A and B are shown apart, each in its own frame.
Chain A
């Protein structure tokens, strides 16, 4: 029903993807040794802080006035993940070039993030010490965004500077528990976590029960990302990941343990699950929509489905870190990308889900394959089945991680 089939090969093959996520592990160790943070973390308000008044969560920040309204800066520094911005054949970023033509700001756009923990590990010492990180915009995943906001390391934005965001942000992204005032983060791109499988081997699948079906033992991959694996398991059990409690976590872990003890021999993978699906080492996996756009092209018998029980929606978000030199220009930049025309231009290159209303309509005219690709513009009936994982405070997050580690062999 919800099956997503490969579309236009020629055009999509232009999109390139890193599939060797495992590589991250290497560079990562150095970063970890870099700084562990000395004893003085800022006196962050207790972990429940971001739920109240807008200003409450920026407690330790030195800058009281969120956005001085100066003129545009001549330079802006943006840290992002790879393949998250449209590129032309000359290696330039058309969107950023157009921004420069309009506002005169040169964007120093660096694709330096390939792992939340590693990247944040690098700027953490400055954030802790209340010094500038040298970035005006950083792009991190929900849970990391929640953590940074909770720690008071993120500048509050002025919604008056963000008219396009206010008007065009898809509703599903509004009022998340970790930023109820919607002014500390702006979604950049999203992905879905669902069911990836080889239709030739399994037939059509519609239920997450398949992931726990011993019929497929030895051929199933789960994800190393705790929120994805625990989240899908909760959905399988009829629990809501957007309200995940420790009891729900226990139930999900028990379910995974049950099939493990019964001899499932599922392995936990990062991006490498897509390789396993292609090679046949897995015929069924928890999967991310962005990877699957490419995988479906490489192996046409693969399918990606948001099961009847639902799927997960996760988002990488633009944040302005404390001490950013050009917070106003940063907001103008972010808002610029929320112009549906610009968003459509970016989306024609990026494989992930666009959070901007109106972009699909713009694309429909000159790039209908992308506009109709349900992995990039999921139709409302799929969006309705997606859940954003609950924002966890530090203690709860540790509880979840420790529990999850007992099934991944790391606890």
Chain B
């Protein structure tokens, strides 16, 4: 075996890639292809389904019918991404540069909520934001808020839930990119009479952009497809495209429409990410020609 590998060195990378590729092929490419075929079916569960290329109208119909949910997903996803960025950057900055010997503990605290299930974390937000919960209850009690004021079942609750749930996905990449910055670069800038704000703007922030880029993708992509937050914290006016897909697949048994919606979502995210990479992407990430 060893000598075989030595003689065919060029095979080695492929062997190393094989498990990942096989995984992708079996659990992503094949199901995605099957789902693509499904999206071009017509018919119902009881009459049976028929495949036809003319059913490409499934896509246009799905897009027009569910446009409100699509645009809402885009807005909520973007809002949550911006919010996680606004919260994560100072947090990661503080841990990276001021954390000192508590660095590991602080990082652990960022990740700690992940030891609880996604669902439980979202349900706990229900308790926090509840109409008579631990936040609103006392405020209503002392008359600071009217009795009918609510956070639960509003867009605010949904965006807040998404923001909270995906926060570590933003914090960790930014932390990593900040952590590896050579502090001497900042010192050099200050030696050259840069103000600390100037040094941050021209040295630290640009060097942390790969982390910001990775973090926003890791946040935005799952946030856009999320349906748990909208289901648990929202109301009928805050449904996202994930809720629709779930409903079409499982309740309505409308597999063609559900599949078409999934592909539209995928395509939409790809386009959004490509645009984002062009506008803001850092060189090392766009070098591949995204």
Q: What is A's interface to B at a CB cutoff of 8 Å? A: 20, 22-23, 25-26, 28-29, 32-33, 36-41, 44, 47, 115, 117-118, 121, 147, 150-151, 217-219, 226, 260, 265-268, 272, 275, 279-281, 394, 398, 401-402, 405, 407-411
Contacts and interface: CB of A to CB of B under 8 A. Distances in A.
Most-contacted residue by chain A among B31, B45, B119, B232 (CB, 10 A): B45
Contact of A408 (B38, B50, B236, B255): B236
B131 A280 contact: yes
B97 to A, nearest CB: 39
A25 B130 contact: no
B46 A410 contact: no
Given A28-B250, A409-B235, A411-B65, A40 B48 contact: yes
A408 B253 contact: no
A147 B252 CA distance: 13
Given A40-B48, A218-B150, A409 B236 contact: yes
B46 A409 contact: no
Nearest to B228: A25
Interface in B175-214: none
Interface string B224-241: 000110011011111100
B220 to A, nearest CB: 21
Given A218-B153, A408-B239, A36 B38 contact: yes
A115 B45 CA distance: 18
B132 interface: yes
Most-contacted residue by chain A among B228, B234, B247 (CB, 10 A): B247
B130 A33 contact: no
Interface residues of B, number: 48
A218 B131 contact: yes
Given A36-B255, A40-B48, A410-B247, A267 B235 contact: yes
B251 interface: yes
Given A36-B38, A36-B49, A151-B46, A409 B239 contact: yes
Interface in B23-71: 31, 35, 38, 41, 43-51, 65, 69
A41 B47 contact: yes
A410 B48 contact: no
A22 B153 contact: no
16 contacts: A25-B228, A25-B246, A29-B249, A36-B41, A39-B50, A41-B46, A218-B148, A260-B236, A266-B235, A266-B236, A272-B232, A281-B130, A398-B252, A405-B252, A409-B236, A410-B247
A394 B119 contact: no
B153 A267 contact: yes
Interface of B: 31, 35, 38, 41, 43-51, 65, 69, 119, 123, 126-127, 130-133, 148, 150, 152-153, 227-228, 231-232, 234-239, 243-244, 246-247, 249-253, 255, 258
Contact of B46 (A36, A150, A267): A150
Most-contacted residue by chain B among A41, A44, A118, A150 (CB, 10 A): A41
Most-contacted residue by chain B among A20, A36, A115, A401 (CB, 10 A): A36
Contacts of A26: 119
A401 to B, nearest CB: 5
A281 B126 contact: yes
Contact of B48 (A39, A121, A265): A39
A226 B251 CA distance: 10
A218 B131 CA distance: 9
A217 to B, nearest CB: 7
A25 B238 CA distance: 18
